[in-house]
Structure 1
Amino acid sequence: MSFVAKVETRAYSRATEVSDRVVAAILNLYPEKFRELVELKSTKVEGQSGDDLLIVGSKLKDKVGCETTLDYIFGKLEEKDRRRLSNSFIRRIDRNCIFFVRIDKQAAFLDEIVLEKGPDVIIVKIHIRQYPKCKQDDVMTMLEDRLRVAGGDD
């Protein structure tokens, strides 16, 4: 049986952005009752053009929180994004059974979850575990089932 072991996110806060809003956008991807368990980390870096950037990351390792977060993200997606996601599962799951999703950062700040429409994104990595060894086909089946339930197609 597959389960979600960890949820990680990363987003960039440019010098023109308010970093607290980027943090808020990231936290909006997690169900409210698990947000206090989310570990946040910010790192200052220099961009290619010499501008200041802040990389804001988050991590949640609580098993129930991680499982709930996956369902929360799927449940807040609009039907067209659920279809788009379902049609691209094979490209979004790597050989280590990490499921990658890019969420629109501005929409997340407004407490909406929308698949990316441009470069201003929050990268979400959902680490899936399965014993004895994780199999991509099994993970894809699990994700499809949960996406279907989130869409009310139970």
Structure 2
Amino acid sequence: MIHYISVRVSAHATEDESRVRSALDLFLLNSFDKGKCTDTDKYVESLVVEGYHGNPITMFSSAIKRKPDTKAFAAFVRPKMTPEDVELLREEMPDRLDDDQMFHLRFDKQAAFNGRIKLSSSSDAIIVKVKIETYPKDRLEAGRIVEELFG
């Protein structure tokens, strides 16, 4: 099903890092330890990079690798999506699944901070990559798995 999930988000100099972490934690708290996680600090890496104009940007990232945690992620995200976002996801599913069987999602940071799951097309979003595993590699089967999990 899901091999692993990578989640990352950036906090620009004009943003409150704690609010960005809170938005990220919406996903992580509901994934790790089968959705019973209370502290994500041990799961999140942070890296401060320099933006194009010399501004500091803090990158937060996490990898969800254990099967129960990846299942918890999907089980949390799908029911929280609006019917409109589910329909949009269904329409865009073939374009969101690349040749390496990586399914790409972006979620609105502000909505996540407010406890909601909303798809986003912005580059300033919570970036989620879901690696789908099939043996042997089969894009059609990967598409069926994505449909089952998120459609």
TM interval, shorter chain, is: 0.7 to 0.9
Contact 1:29–1:113 (8 Å) recurs in 2: no
Task: Specify every segment of 5 or more residues in structure 1 that has no aligned partner in the other structure, as ranges.
Answer: 149-154
Aligned residue in 2 for 1:151: none
Aligned residue in 1 for 2:142: 139
| CA RMSD in angstroms, aligned pairs only | 1.7
One-letter amino acid matched to 1:146 = L
Aligned residue in 2 for 1:74: 78
C-alpha offsets along residues 85-133 of structure 1, whole Å, 9 cap, x if unaligned? Answer: 01111111111111110100111111111000534301001111122x2
Aligned residue in 1 for 2:99: 95
Among 41, 44, 64, which residue is 2:45 paired with? 41
CA distance in 1, matches of 2:149, 2:128: 17
Aligned residue in 2 for 1:14: 12
Aligned residue in 1 for 2:69: 65
Task: Specify every segment of 5 or more residues in structure 2 that has no aligned partner in the other structure, as ranges.
Answer: none
Q: Does 1:52 align with 2:50?
A: no
Percent identity over paired residues:
27
**SS of structure 1 residue aligned to 2:36:** helix
Aligned residues between the structures: 145
**SS of structure 2 residue aligned to 1:87:** helix
Aligned residue in 2 for 1:83: 87
Q: Which runs of 4+ in 1 moved over 3 A?
A: 34-38
Among 27, 30, 44, which residue is 1:29 paired with? 27
Contact 1:22–1:105 (8 Å) recurs in 2: yes
Contact 1:40–1:58 (8 Å) recurs in 2: yes
CA distance in 2, matches of 1:117, 1:101: 9
Among 111, 122, 132, which residue is 2:115 paired with? 111
Contact 1:34–1:65 (8 Å) recurs in 2: no
One-letter amino acid matched to 2:124 = D
TM-score by length of 1: 0.86
CA distance in 1, matches of 2:38, 2:101: 24
One-letter amino acid matched to 2:51 = G
Contact 2:5–2:70 (8 Å) recurs in 1: yes
CA distance in 2, matches of 1:68, 1:51: 36
TM-score by length of 2: 0.88
| Structure with the largest fraction of strand | 1
